[in-house]
Amino acid sequence: MKNLLKAIAYAIVVSTCYNCSVESTENSQEESLVLQEQIAALDEPDEVCSGQDPQAVLTNNSLLAADFEVFDQFGLLMTHAYGVPVGDTSTVLSFPDGVTTFIVSTSTSIKEIRIDMGNCMIYEVEIDENNQLDTDVPNQL
């Protein structure tokens, strides 16, 4: 009986040793550094936009190449992105603030959007596979 108790105690000690794992301290230090960098990034204050010109960008998910034109309130072309390929995004277009007309066109359709764009605003528009625009509302930078 005494030997049985000793054998059970020995089996419990041995089984706990087999359940332990050894980890490299190098990985733990790397994970700790990554975690510290992520915490530092969260603590950094967000940059506040101050007087940056409005911007616009077009994402073309239609089946046709698209043109993106930006006109001022007098109808003068301020900037453009012609021939945005299928599945691609135009460059970010900057222009002065004020009432702005955006014209998005393909070989089969023309869409016109008029928005009063202020500084620190971006108009991100996407054309879907049915040549429909996803938004007519700008976002704050």
The structural domains of the chain, with segments of one domain joined by +, span 2-43, 55-140
Helix, strand, coil distribution of the chain in percent, nearest 5: 25, 35, 40
Three-class SS state of 68: strand
User: Mean pLDDT of all residues in the chain?
Assistant: 83
Three-class SS state of 57: strand
Q: Is the pLDDT of residue 119 over 60?
A: yes
End-to-end C-alpha distance for the chain, whole angstroms: 78
Q: Count Cα atoms within 13 angstroms, Cβ side, for 23.
A: 8
Three-class SS state of 119: coil
> What fold, for 55-140?
Immunoglobulin-like (2.60.40)
Least confident of 39-43, 79-83, 90-94: 39-43
Percent above pLDDT 90 for the chain: 53
- Single pTM value for the model: 0.65
